[in-house]
Amino acid sequence: MKTIMRRVLPGFGLSLGISVTYLSLLVLIPLAACVVKSLDLSWEEFTRAAWSPRARAAYWLTFECAFIAAVINLALGLVVAWSLVRYRFPLKTLIDALVDVPLALPTAVTGLVYASLYVKDGWLGHFLTPMGVEVAYTKLGIVLVLVFTGFPFVVRSVQPVLAELDADEEEASAVMGASRWVTFRHVILPHLLPPLLSGFTLAFARGVGEYGSVVFISSNMPFKTEIAAVLIVSRLEEFAYREAAAVAVVMLGFSFVLLALISVLERWSQPHVK
Amino acid sequence: MDESGVSTMGHPCHNRYHGLMFQRLLLIFVGIYLAGATGWVLWSARVREKGTTVNLLNAACDPTRELWREINTRFVEHMERERGESIAIRQSHGGSSSQARAIVDGLDADVATLALWSDTNAIHKAGLIEDGWENHLPNRSLPFVSTIVFVVRKGNPKGIKDWADLARPGVQVITPNPKTSGNGKWSLLAAYGSVVLQGGSDAEGQEYLYKLFAGVPVLDTSARAATMTFSQKKIGDVHLTWENEAYLEVEEAKGALEIVRPPISVVAEPHVAVVTANAKRKGTFAAAEAYMRFAYTREAQDIIARHHYRPTDPEAWEKHKETFGAVEMFDVARLAPGKKGPAEVWAELNRRFFSDGALFDSIYTRLHGGGKAP
Amino acid sequence: MSNESASHGATVPQPAVAVESFQPRSQARKDPAWVQWLLVGITYLVIGLLVAVPLVHVFHQAFSAGIATYFSKLLGDKDTLHAIFLTLMVSPVAVAMNVLFGLAAAWLIARFQFPGRALLISLIDLPMSISPVVAGLVFMLVLGLQSPVGQWLREHGWQIIFAPPGLVLATAFITFPLVARELVPLLEAEGVDEEMAALSLGASGWQMFWRVTLPNLRWGLLYGIILCNARAMGEFGAVHVVSGRISGQTDTLPLRVEKLFQEYDIQGAFAAASVLTLVAILTLIGKALLERKVHKG
């Protein structure tokens, strides 16, 4: 049907031209330039720059924190989405609106505020520090800001699916004597898996790329709290362009893999997610 | 957009005619605004020929924000008064190396006032600063020098007096990352020098640095970020920083912090230079040169001393030296024995301490990267 | 989504009620009271600690020295004012570029079948998963003085990096997919009947676009613009790399926040941050209002 449309509907050439030109100029050519720059390095130099213990520690930390944060978001997001869909409670509309704040709040503001809240004598820090919980400048801090930035993705993926879930299956399950928990595990959860996973992946991808808020709250120590983006900046400041580009290329590779994963997941959960 | 096109956009307005008018006005406004913004962005991309006002850009390292702000004001007044020239100066601040890299990448700075010889020289190597820049301005292009001192919490609860105290277990040291910050590099060199120039061996110096960095909880990328970590976020027991930065920090903290001067420290030399290629192309060379020379005048040297940098003009130094504490300051060249001239000295220092896989990297590999010895 | 509920609807007596109402329809769907309390409690705690407290903190810090100080910090500081101006110039241009692309891409993807379509769809999402720092780095590599392009630009008197155009490019890169992502599914759902009708009645391609396609997309487009703009105004990482941080010249508002904070001007920093937070809140209000329209239409 669509091939017929090309003959009938106008604007194929124009929209193709605009899309491809813009995509190439803004995204593809610059990214290709980055790859080319890193190819100036010999293979040994490339591995030394992009796969050194320090670089590996940075990738590992980046993915570890993004993963932990996404897992936390999975649980919190499900709880919040469940409450918002199933229960009535005061300030519900406000809470529903506040879920989206992380999407709109600039990352620099997030970092500034979180660092100021969780330092030793910050609003929250002076409760937590005596209990031995240190958030600012630790891995915990990185995870926390990533939980913040990724939080809306899970809630917003799960919410519509949960709202449209059919009551019959649940009723049937209850009639047959299943406990509420068994009903949840075996009847409701299977429906929620695709949106949960797609929310998880989006939150994870966002966490892997996050820079602005992390750089404020992390102590940026090599091997300990230095994320890959900070490593790139740090290499850049040492005039090591090609080495910075090499690390960037590895991150780009990860981005592509993630992207493929997201599109597969989205296709899988298509009927559920807008 | 024609009328029927708009009408389908149905605005929730009782009076259809007014709704249309409103939408149309809104669209026209948005269109004009966008055209204006686009035009402005494109216009701002043109490097303009010299107008009536000479615009200078000073790419400076982090801790000199307040200093240059005051010198700039005086210089602008000075040029207006003496030569009737109108000058505007803009500032860019950041880590020394990051500023140098920005200039190499095309930041249109007329002067570079960075923290390290090697950073300024990197711009020279990119062909933007002329040969022999170091001798182009008086006192090896140093209107002022400084040193690295300690800032501690009120009452010095950890009893920190000398470099050796920094390596004690349980003492947290704040200093920026030596890879990216001039302050960080000077701190590391001062710490190392305090060992090897007082009879210690190279191995002892390295071991000392290892212990010192084991007590560093946060590695900020620039001097000012480290200051904020120590003074505002209240992390750490001692802050290794520029002398001037220490004074400013203590003033701002209003009694919560105090300065401790170690008996020995490094002469920190923040060179200044005119970025010749940029200034000549923009036709601002004369003004840029006058600006840098102004920093050597009595007026500027007084400002410099007031901001707790050590003026290099001998008379100004005599006048103000009482306000500075006594520190035995060593030349960094003594850490690179047998090397002559700043080029060789800095090449050696970078090779041994800062470049990829050198001492600083090996300290961190040993600290966190699986305990391998350097 | 509509397919899903419709297919179930055939077997369910009153599907509309189950879908529309957020209330459990029967006892079978009711969770034990303690579970309800627990989950709602967690929701309060999460939203409160994660979102509400930080928001309150921004304004509390900004106004901690009184309203007069707040406004003098904000409006009395030439560089902060310039940062606001710059942000108001840079973001709309970046958003407009992405709107143009979004419309073209949506038309292309939703209306035509062609080789490479799936690839195009994937590539649109690419910038979302790239770290902003990498985005800044690539523009630096392409347009910086180190590259032949940068050399050429300099010789011909253009300054892209460390000037507003560089900021626009970096911002447009980061917010690249946001408009297109909204428009593609909307246009797909819209169907081609109206457009075909317009064409068969003799409308030209542009007439069809202005009178049929665009009006149908208007709320979705506005929604995309609002989200895109919020991200554009708040962009930090990519802009940080390409800005050069010249006070009063290339500092956008988020960069200004960082700079003020580092100059001991905590109140100034939070005052600037409060402006950005206000933009974020307005965005969310706009988004909530539009969501109703989009879902109705």
List, for residues B173-209, the tens digit of each pLDDT value.
999 989 888 899 999 999 999 999 999 999 999 999 9
Residue B90 has pLDDT above 50, yes or no: yes
Q: What are chain A's partners, defined as 3 or more CB pairs within 8 angstroms? A: B, C
Give the model's pLDDT for residue B14. Answer: 53
CB contact under 8 A, A123 and C57: yes
Give the model's pLDDT for residue C266. Answer: 86
Find which of A60, A126, A232, A237 to mutate to test the B interface (most B CBs within 10 Å of its CB).
A237
Residue B70 banded pLDDT, cuts 50, 70, 90: very high
Residue C171 banded pLDDT, cuts 50, 70, 90: very high
CB atoms within 10 A of CB B371: 8
Residue B219 banded pLDDT, cuts 50, 70, 90: confident
- The residue whose two tokens read 């000075």 is B78
Residue B151 has pLDDT above 90, yes or no: yes
In angstroms, the CA C243 to CA A101 distance is: 26
In angstroms, the CA A188 to CA B325 distance is: 73
Residues of A in contact with B177 (CB under 8 A): 220, 234
Helix, strand or coil, per DSSP, at residue C246:
strand
- The residue whose two tokens read 């904070």 is C261
Give the model's pLDDT for residue B218. Answer: 85
Q: Are A140 and A60 in contact (CB under 8 A)?
A: no
Residue C50 has pLDDT above 60, yes or no: yes
Give the model's pLDDT for residue B214. Answer: 92
Phi and psi at residue A104, in whole multiples of 5°? -105, -20
In angstroms, the CA B72 to CA B76 distance is: 6
In angstroms, the CA B211 to CA B215 distance is: 7
Residue A146 has pLDDT above 50, yes or no: yes
Q: Are C15 and C8 in contact (CB under 8 A)?
A: yes
Indicate whether C140 and C287 sit together in one domain: yes
User: Running DSSP on this structure, what letter comes out for residue C29?
Assistant: G
Residue B265 banded pLDDT, cuts 50, 70, 90: very high
Q: Which of B229, B224, B192 is nearest to B208 (CA)?
A: B192
Residue A4 banded pLDDT, cuts 50, 70, 90: low
Residue C197 has pLDDT above 70, yes or no: yes
Residue B248 vs residue A235, higher pLDDT: B248
In angstroms, the CA B115 to CA B269 distance is: 7
Give the model's pLDDT for residue C4. Answer: 37
Give the model's pLDDT for residue B6. Answer: 40
Q: Are A208 and A63 in contact (CB under 8 A)?
A: yes
Residue B23 banded pLDDT, cuts 50, 70, 90: confident
Q: For residue A241, what is the nearest residue in chain B, using CA coordinates?
A: B101
Query: Which among C140, C165, C246 has CB closest to B90?
Result: C246
Indicate whether C54 and C106 sit together in one domain: no
Q: Which of B251, B226, B234, B147 is nearest to B191 (CA)?
A: B147
- The residue whose two tokens read 């306000």 is B323
Indicate whether C43 and C120 sit together in one domain: no
List, for residues C134-169, the tens digit of each pLDDT value.
899 899 989 988 889 999 998 888 889 999 999 999
Number of structural domains (chain C) is 3
Indicate whether C122 and C1 sit together in one domain: no
Token readout for C192 is 């081609």
**pLDDT more than 90, % of chain B:** 67
Indicate whether C44 and C171 sit together in one domain: no
Q: Which domain holds residue C15?
A: 1-25
CATH 1.10.3720.10 fits A42-268, yes or no: yes
Residue C13 banded pLDDT, cuts 50, 70, 90: very low
Find which of C138, C152, C211 to mutate to test the B interface (most B CBs within 10 Å of its CB).
C211
Residues of A in contact with B95 (CB under 8 A): 237
CB neighbours of B38 closer than 8 A, spacing ≥ 6? C93, C96
Indicate whether C7 and C90 sit together in one domain: no
Indicate whether C206 and C280 sit together in one domain: yes
Q: Which domains does chain B have, with CATH numbers?
A: 3-37 (no CATH), 53-142+270-296 (3.40.190.10), 145-268+327-368 (3.40.190.10)
Residues of A in contact with C138 (CB under 8 A): 30-31, 33-34, 248
Phi and psi at residue B111, in whole multiples of 5°? -130, 150
Residue A6 has pLDDT above 70, yes or no: no
Residue B240 has pLDDT above 60, yes or no: yes
Residue B374 has pLDDT above 80, yes or no: no
User: Running DSSP on this structure, what letter comes out for residue C210?
Assistant: I
Residue type, C19: V
Question: What angle in degrees, to the nearest 10, is found between the helix axes of A107-118 and C266-296?
Answer: 130
Average pLDDT over residues A102-117: 90
Give the model's pLDDT for residue B16. Answer: 65
Q: Which residues 70-99 in chain C show a CB within 8 A of chain B?
A: 88-90, 92-93, 96
Query: Which among C26, C54, C192 has CB closest to A113?
Result: C54
Domain boundaries, chain A: 1-39, 42-268
CB contact under 8 A, C280 and A11: no
Written in H, E and C, the secondary structure of chain B is CCHHHHHCCCCCCCCHHHHHHHHHHHHHHHHHHHHHHHHHHHHHHECCCCCCEEEEEEEEEHHHHHHHHHHHHHHHHHHHHHHCCEEEEEEEEECHHHHHHHHHCCCCCCEEECCCHHHHHHHHHCCCCCCCHHHCCHHHHCCEEEEEEEEEECCCCCCCCCHHHHCCCCCCEECCCCCCCHHHHHHHHHHHHHHHCCCCCHHHHHHHHHHHHHCCCCCCCCHHHHHHHHHCCCCCCEEEEEHHHHHHHHHHHCCCEEEECCCEEEEECCCEEECHHHHHHHCCHHHHHHHHHHCCCHHHHHHHHHCCCEECCHHHHHHHHHHCCCCEEECHHHHCCCCCHHHHHHHHHHHHHHCCCCHHHHHHHHHHCCCCCC
Indicate whether C50 and C74 sit together in one domain: no
Indicate whether C57 and C72 sit together in one domain: no
Displacement of CA C241 from its chain's centroid (Å): 20
What is the CATH classification number for the domain harbouring C207?
A: 1.10.3720.10
- Mean per-residue pLDDT of chain B: 89
Indicate whether C121 and C175 sit together in one domain: yes
Find which of B123, B185, B220, B233 to mutate to test the A interface (most A CBs within 10 Å of its CB).
B233
In angstroms, the CA C119 to CA B6 distance is: 35
The whole-model pTM stands at 0.87
